[in-house]
Amino acid sequence: MTKVTHVLFDMDGLLLDTERVYTEVTAKIVSKYGKTYDWTLKAQMMGLKERDAAELLVKTLEIPMTVDEYIVARRLGHAEMFPSCRPLPGVVRFVEHLHRHGIPMAVATSSHRDAFVLKTSENQELFKHFNHILCGDDVIPSTGKPPRGKPSPDLFIAAAETINGDLSNPQSCLVFEDAPSGVQAALNAGMQVVWVPDVNLAQDPALVSSASEVMLTLEHFKPEKFGLPPFDN
């Protein structure tokens, strides 16, 4: 296993409990039309950029809304609930540990910048530790365009270049993800990846075997297995 020198984190459902909000808001919207938002569809939407996810939902559930109408309704619900999101178990301890030991870290999220600001508004103590934040609608300097959505490796490659510069050995970068599309994006970037799926998410055996590790909470992570400094206690 290659020694890790820098670390990338997804945000939704990995650092913060935002997946609860996504589920509740979307379930409420589609229930008005007698539709059910289940984990089969949610798993397909996780990690996608906002519009791609909206198009998939509207088409799959055949709800009588345009994609734009659904996005507007969704954003209103999110604006009300996102500030209540908090770090998931093990996150604060791990991020603060990496920060103390000078390990470069970045957040690479498909969320748009305005949504990121809402989600992190009450979590500044956590996010101040990151060297860089890359959002789904940010422009990548090397291309002049926003990154393609996961499973494209764009987000992770751009974030790694920002905090590391040298990607000659992508295996030295460790990605933490909760979404299947995000795990695949990390693999497509040639990086090591730890998958932290929601307990309700069906796990693809092929993806499980490709990930460096699979665990249900970051509380179980052992940094020394990847050449990172062990926890102090």
Strands annotated E in 101-212 = 105-108, 132-134, 173-177, 192-195
Q: Which is nearest to 213 in space by CA: 196, 199, 188, 191? A: 196
- Choose, from 12, 52, 138, 154, the residue flagged as catalytic: 12
Residue 183 corresponds to which tokens in the numbers above? 């795990």
- Choose, from 10, 52, 138, 154, the residue flagged as catalytic: 10
Coil, strand or helix: which one is 200? coil
Secondary structure percentages of the chain, helix, strand, coil, to 5: 45, 10, 40
- Which amino acid would we find at residue 198? D
Strands annotated E in the chain = 6-9, 105-108, 132-134, 173-177, 192-195, 213-214
Spatial contact of 140 and 158, defined as CB atoms under 8 Å apart: yes
Question: Distance between CA 213 and CA 53 in Å, rounded?
Answer: 27
On the question of a cis peptide bond just before residue 230, with omega within 30 degrees of 0, the verdict is no
Q: How big is the chain, counted in residues? A: 233
- 10 is annotated as an active-site residue: yes
- 154 is annotated as an active-site residue: no
Question: Distance between CA 59 and CA 63 in Å, rounded?
Answer: 7
Question: Distance between CA 212 and CA 208 in Å, rounded?
Answer: 8
Give the catalytic positions in this structure. 10, 12
